[in-house]
Amino acid sequence: MSPSFLNWAGAARTWPSGGLARVGAWLSATLCVVLVGATPAIAQTPDDTFLATVGELREASFSDKEAIATRIAASGHTSAAAVLTAMLEDRLYFRDSDQHVFIITSADADPFALVEPVSLADAGTAAQDGLTKIGTNNRLRRVVRTTVARFTLASPDPAVRLKAVQEMMRSLDEQTLDLVRERAAIETDAAVKNEIVLGLAMAALTSGDQPAKLAAIERLSTQVTSDVRNRLATFLEQNPDGSFVEPDAAVRSAARSAVSDIDRIRAIYSGVETLFFGLSLGSVLVLIAIGLAITFGVMGVINMAHGELMMLGAYTVYVVQLLMPNAIGLSVIVAIPLAFIVAGLAGVLLERTVIRFLYGRPLETLLATYGVSLVLQQTVRSIFSANNRAVETPAWLSGTWQVNQAFAITNNRLYIVLFTMMVFVALQAVLKRTRLGLDIRAVAQNRSMASAMGIRTEWVDAMTFGLGSGIAGMAGVALSQLTNVGPNLGQSYIIDSFMVVVFGGVGNLWGTLIGGMSMGVVNKLLEPYAGAVLAKIAVLVALILFIQRKPRGLFPQGGRSAEGH
């Protein structure tokens, strides 16, 4: 058990998780290096003195404890922060039998897990009733908190300082204010400084005179957090008798315009967020449809097994993770090319054994490939069971990118957008810049002419279908991170994929991209009003109506020749 975990495990409850380890590690180091030098030399070893000081806490009164806590902080011992934090969080105990003081890791566990307060080493466990808590009261806790905050505010890591300021702003009092003001004078990091300025402005709202309040409101009007907005909104509240809580009309009007400013900014960010959600949903739609845009759009093959090819891709991730259980982070990356190969080969096999006999008979192809999709579903049921398989999400895919207080982007959404773009660009490159791409386009435009020019059209058919299927497999990798991996995975996406391709205009990859993205955005725009299911239904119905107005999609292939069946 690392000391840093020990020190701050409790703090995790109140502090957002990021940066904690750094806070702890840094604290231990600072207290040692910075404060030791400032302490006069003592005859005993520092550890003995420290332990003795901590021991005094057992029987001291609350006011004495204040003094003791100050001495502990001043001792500069590496464990000082850990002990004070434990005390703050009621995790400092002493053993009744020998009066030895311990830190416990959690007050909820029984028996307690003990930690030696000097070395911070694991000291085994002990039953709860053999231990007595070293009590605190509010006043004491405030003093200790300020002491701890002073340490953290001096951290060289701006992220730690930022967290410290944010934490202190939640419970401002004169002492913390002074601390923060001191820090403001010497702070160099812009973000931390900004946070301090905001905190001081928030404080000024309560305690300042009129010009200070106005200045604070002015400063806060560019903020986006709901805390600030709600605080400002309290100026506009009325007492039950109709008079305003805030007597000063100038302050009220400043607050009113500040609240509306903040609301506007927040509305913009929430719009941006919806747009991003929509683009990320759209990316999923594009990803599941882009393979189909090849097989359906370029070759005219109705492949109802497209969803099952995605399912194969998703199961590839599962198998890869079984094979490399210790490298989950890598597994998804490894699975992408593998899924392409697995689904691509399945596609080539499907084309060679079934589809090639049915060219020019789209309805028959639809039925035959539907049969294949049933066989594939049952195959994975037989091999992997009918239940969903657990596919793990690598750490780098989880987590959130907090742009500001009003706008956060989850990593998986971000990566899916990037992945879709990469697949799209790669596909365009294959079609536009490679020999295979040239052959594919040639065969799509004029099969007999291409054949006459020596292109092996049968081979191109198989490769084209393999390409489209392989992309379906890669889409499956993405889906494995978003949804349950089970035999029905394909079925739940097949209709969406077809709708995207038809909506975008068959035979047009850009149409698929724009079609999928706009479907995603519209869906997310509707969701707040209609709910997820109803939004989806609305989008489906809108598409059905759209296709009836423009049967050839958003971006039809032009010219006379496109008229044919």
Residues in contact with other proteins by the rule CB under 8 A: 302, 304, 354, 357-358, 362-368, 370-375, 377-378, 381-382, 491, 495, 498-499, 502, 533-534, 536-537, 540-541, 543-545, 547-549, 551, 558-560, 565
- Three-state DSSP at 487 gives coil
Closer by beta carbon to other proteins, 124 or else 371: 371
Adjacent-strand bridge partners of 93: 102, 133
Residue 156's CB is within 10 A of a number of other CB atoms, namely: 9
DSSP-derived secondary structure letter, 298? I
- Three-state DSSP at 163 gives helix
DSSP H/E element including 113: strand 112-115
Give least dist CB 366 to other proteins, A: 6
Residue 453 vs residues 442, 449, 465: alpha-carbon distances, Å: 10, 6, 21
Closer by beta carbon to other proteins, 1 or else 449: 449
Closest C-alpha to 85, from 208, 167, 18: 167
- Three-state DSSP at 103 gives strand
- Amino acid (one-letter) located at 39: T
Q: Are 332 and 495 in contact (CB under 8 A)?
A: no
- Give the integer Cα–Cα distance in Å for 262 and 44: 58
Edge to edge, the sheet with strand 92-95 lists: 122-126, 112-115, 101-104, 92-95, 131-133
Closest C-alpha to 282, from 497, 476, 508, 502: 497
Residue 509 vs residues 2, 297, 298, 337, 350: alpha-carbon distances, Å: 53, 8, 9, 22, 23
- Give the integer Cα–Cα distance in Å for 262 and 229: 7
